[in-house]
A and B are shown apart, each in its own frame.
Chain A
Amino acid sequence: MYGIGLIKGLGVTLKHFVETYVEDIRWLSRGGRYYDEEALKVRQSTAARGIFTVQYPEEKLPVPEEFRYIPFLIYEVDEDGIKVDRCTSCGICAKVCPPQCIWIVRSNDPETGRPVPAPTDFFIDIDICMNCGLCAEYCPFDAIKMDHDYELASHDRFKDHIFDKERLDHPLSYYAEIRPRNYAEEERARAEKEAAKAARRKSK
């Protein structure tokens, strides 16, 4: 009969509509289904039923660890409280960068004339950066990593959109916080390497 298909389809719409409220009621005892991190996780999972939208900016989707948005540089703090850059200004990130948005200034030691293994300055033009993450992937010193902060709107693109070293620098603890799994993995590899080095030295 003509119209059956339409009615069936409307049934599906109705199901979606009703499911939203059924789920809302089920979550009532747990403090509601909105503006709540736990509830949001379920609402955005494969178990999701009914309404699927997110009330941004009150609610924000959690970003996974691998999420990448604009690189930053990592520094460590030594015993004297002095910032030490992990970056050695080897330039691999600048060489692998597809849109060529990284500028690195490397200076020479005035006495020896040799290059200093630290960047004098470091610029990233975030208007050009395509967030591909290749710099972080190929950095041999784990010195440049991808950030999680995606709310970067600013009023003046000419002034604010070329990040210099000061703006790019973040402490190691920040990295450990946003990417705990990667951090642990790298620290483990580093410790192994150190141990192997020590063992080699001993055997010599």
Chain B
Amino acid sequence: MAETESTKVLDEIKTKFGDAVSPDEREGYDGYLVRAENLLDFATFVRDALGYDYLSSVTGVDYIVEDKMEVVYHAYRTSGGPALLFKVQTQREKSVVPSLVSIYPGADFQEREAWDLLGIEFEGHPDLRRILLWDGFHGHPLRKDWREAYFEEDQKPFGNRWPEGKVYRIEDKVPFNKNVKYPANFTPEGWVPEGEGTLYASLGRMEKSNGNGTGSEHIVVNLGPQHPSTHGVFRMVAELDGETIVDLKPVMGYLHRNHEKIGERNTYIMNMPFTDRLDYICSMGNNFAYALSVEKLMDVQPPERAEYLRVIMAELTRVVNHFWAIGFLLNDLGAFFTPALYAINERELILDVFEAVSGSRMMCNYFRFGGLARDLPPGTAEVIRDLAFERLPEKIDELERYLTENEIVRVRGEGVGVLTAEQAIGFAAAGPVLRASGVPYDVRKAEPYSIYDRFDFDVAVRYNGDVYDRYLIRVDEIRQSIRILQQAIQDLPEGEIQTGRPQYQVRVPAGESYGRVENPKGELGFYVISDGSPTPYRYHIRAPSFINVTGMAEMSRGQKIADVVAILGSIDIVLGETDR
């Protein structure tokens, strides 16, 4: 059926666009190549006529050999089904591509990221500034000819580690300050950053007159980067009219380390522990998505037992994350640490399971291509069973009794930070944020991966799209996760946990793949391009924490400044993933 539908789509596209759109026929590639001048028309057609209303991922790829820059779009239907990929190519120098923000508002931050890291200019973007790097940064680091400070070699493993093994500290080789390259005629002492100016100007600051001649001015308040409510180093620039938010801009990148560049230096297996450090609350989920995307390229299937264990770990991760999110949302609402600690209790017990199976509580590094690192140690299955059938159901009831009817939680949450269903889809919000707005979109059901099609569970959905519903949806999701856990641990088969022999360097055939999972915070996708070498050619992460912030300004407008803290808490971001 999928085959006939895709040929029908292809015919439709052909009659409408002719030569401007052609199927991508490179080996291992998929989707359509669109000419830059037809991109806006094509995107409108894809959204309105074909129904791909959800633009999940936007990213760029630097094809230095062909002297080309490519922008890759992954669009989905919120009713479910596979992706429609389309790509647009442009020259490498002075790359310009039309911006899709007018059609898919969710492209906003992702296009800024592509501009920042790859230097692709998006014509018509309302606010094209750097997003992850600082304003004075020189160059675009994801370009293949850009080299970082302390650069050693293009690909790991570095030759000098073995067999000569001359140990050194990189700081001794390249002393601090000696690795900084300044543009011509640049003196660091005389430099005044202009980025802050453009940032404030982008707020559309305005004078307000109240009719009797006494005009009042809006003020700008910086929340963060060092602020307890921002869950890390995150900054919100809010323009206020009295106490009411007129406009808000999130500023991020304080934790940026260019994870993607590191990933392109690493071999495939080396990236696994690095994915742990993205959303460090949910490292099992990150492992899962990365393993899926590479397995797609390698065309391997993990054995049955490994699939069940993967699902168990992913669902335990969801419980961990949602307990944590609820606890810290309540912290943001002023219930200082009592609910958080009750939630962390249960998280702690699950982390003990993670530690027993993987050796680490948070940086699990448990998944391998075609399986898992090791089997459950003795006794762990019983602990999981105990958690799934006894402890967690009891504790989630207790948490609900504690919070759900609490008048303060309701007053602070109901009607605050509302995002309608259309807005949520438009902003490409994912996970609980999307589902709390009444869109029952869950990757586990929309495009089932692993063995999720075997379990009986419901997609949690709430309809008000406010802070309170984003709390409730997390409680609902914990309950659904417990249901999945109960089924998975009951049916857990015996057997192998790894397909083939474990290898320290895997062969990955050339091609592209996009592996996505429903991570607790939303859709987490890994876009990996292999050129057949031991390291990925392109390694991109569609980070839910990052993209969910796109709707932050919309949620905050018209709210009081105190509510911004609650709204941010209800989105539930982790800066390790936002800033990457």
| Contact flags A82-95 to B (C-beta < 8 A → 1, else 0) | 00000001011011
Counting CB contacts under 8 A, is A196 at the interface?
A: no
- 17 interchain pairs (CB within 8 A)? A8-B402, A9-B403, A9-B406, A64-B377, A66-B374, A67-B359, A94-B161, A94-B162, A96-B267, A97-B161, A97-B270, A103-B161, A115-B163, A132-B272, A133-B365, A134-B365, A138-B502
Counting CB contacts under 8 A, is B10 at the interface?
A: no
Counting CB contacts under 8 A, is B386 at the interface?
A: yes
Contact B345 A104 (CB under 8 A): no
> Considering the chains assembled together, what is the distance between the CA atoms of A44 and B349 in angstroms?
7
Given A46-B387, A66-B355, A66-B374, A98-B163 contact (CB < 8 Å): no
Given A8-B401, A13-B338, A100-B161 contact (CB < 8 Å): yes
Task: Count residues of B near A (Cβ-Cβ below 8 Å).
Answer: 59
Contact A131 B406 (CB under 8 A): no
Counting CB contacts under 8 A, is B235 at the interface?
A: no
Find residues 97-142 in chain B having any chain A CB closer than 8 Å to their own CB. Answer: none
Contact A130 B363 (CB under 8 A): yes
Contact B348 A102 (CB under 8 A): no
Partner of A48, one of B158, B273, B345, B401: B345
Contact B356 A64 (CB under 8 A): yes
Which residues of the partner chain B approach A2 to less than 8 Å between Cβ atoms? Answer: 407
Which residues of the partner chain A approach B360 to less than 8 Å between Cβ atoms? Answer: 67-68, 131
Counting CB contacts under 8 A, is A199 at the interface?
A: no
> Considering the chains assembled together, what is the distance between the CA atoms of A68 and B405 in angstroms?
43
| Contact flags B480-506 to A (C-beta < 8 A → 1, else 0) | 000000000000000000000010110
| Contact flags B371-390 to A (C-beta < 8 A → 1, else 0) | 00110011000010011001
Counting CB contacts under 8 A, is B507 at the interface?
A: no
Counting CB contacts under 8 A, is A169 at the interface?
A: no
- With both beta carbons as reference points, the residue of chain A lying nearest to B357 in the complex is identified as A66
Task: Count residues of A near B (Cβ-Cβ below 8 Å).
Answer: 52
Contact A44 B352 (CB under 8 A): yes
Partner of A98, one of B266, B338, B349: B266
Which residues of the partner chain B approach A146 to less than 8 Å between Cβ atoms? Answer: 359
Find residues 21-41 in chain A having any chain B CB closer than 8 Å to their own CB. Answer: none
Which residues of the partner chain B approach A134 to less than 8 Å between Cβ atoms? Answer: 269-270, 272-273, 365, 504
Contact A95 B405 (CB under 8 A): no
Contact B269 A96 (CB under 8 A): yes
Contact B158 A100 (CB under 8 A): yes
Counting CB contacts under 8 A, is A125 at the interface?
A: yes
Partner of B391, one of A46, A66, A96: A46
Contact B505 A95 (CB under 8 A): yes
Which residues of the partner chain B approach A11 to less than 8 Å between Cβ atoms? Answer: 401
Which residues of the partner chain B approach A130 to less than 8 Å between Cβ atoms? Answer: 273, 363
| Contact flags A61-87 to B (C-beta < 8 A → 1, else 0) | 001111110000000000000000000
The stretch among B165-173, B288-296, B306-314 that forms the contact with chain A is B165-173
> Considering the chains assembled together, what is the distance between the CA atoms of A45 and B342 in angstroms?
15
> Considering the chains assembled together, what is the distance between the CA atoms of A68 and B169 in angstroms?
24
Which residues of the partner chain B approach A153 to less than 8 Å between Cβ atoms? Answer: none
Contact A133 B407 (CB under 8 A): no
> Considering the chains assembled together, what is the distance between the CA atoms of A8 and B383 in angstroms?
30
Q: Which 4 A-B pairs have the closest CB atoms?
A: A5-B405, A132-B273, A106-B163, A91-B162
Counting CB contacts under 8 A, is A18 at the interface?
A: no
Which residues of the partner chain A approach B377 to less than 8 Å between Cβ atoms? Answer: 64-66, 181
In the complex, what's the smallest C-beta–C-beta distance from B60 to chain A, in angstroms?
25
In the complex, what's the smallest C-beta–C-beta distance from B235 to chain A, in angstroms?
28
Counting CB contacts under 8 A, is B560 at the interface?
A: no
Partner of A46, one of B349, B404, B502: B349
- With both beta carbons as reference points, the residue of chain A lying nearest to B380 in the complex is identified as A64
| Contact flags B342-367 to A (C-beta < 8 A → 1, else 0) | 10010011001001111110010100
Contact B352 A123 (CB under 8 A): no
In the complex, what's the smallest C-beta–C-beta distance from A132 to chain B, in angstroms?
4
Counting CB contacts under 8 A, is A152 at the interface?
A: no
Counting CB contacts under 8 A, is B149 at the interface?
A: no
> Considering the chains assembled together, what is the distance between the CA atoms of A96 and B355 in angstroms?
22
In the complex, what's the smallest C-beta–C-beta distance from B393 to chain A, in angstroms?
12
Which residues of the partner chain A approach B378 to less than 8 Å between Cβ atoms? Answer: 181
In the complex, what's the smallest C-beta–C-beta distance from B353 to chain A, in angstroms?
9
Which residues of the partner chain A approach B157 to less than 8 Å between Cβ atoms? Answer: 94-97, 100
Interface centre among A46, A92, A102, A181 (most CB of B within 10 A): A46
> Considering the chains assembled together, what is the distance between the CA atoms of A29 and B402 in angstroms?
33
Counting CB contacts under 8 A, is B257 at the interface?
A: no
Contact A91 B266 (CB under 8 A): no
| Contact flags B141-161 to A (C-beta < 8 A → 1, else 0) | 000000000001000111011
Interface centre among B152, B162, B267 (most CB of A within 10 A): B162
Contact A123 B401 (CB under 8 A): no
> Considering the chains assembled together, what is the distance between the CA atoms of A8 and B397 in angstroms?
12
Contact A95 B269 (CB under 8 A): no
Counting CB contacts under 8 A, is B274 at the interface?
A: yes
Counting CB contacts under 8 A, is B50 at the interface?
A: no
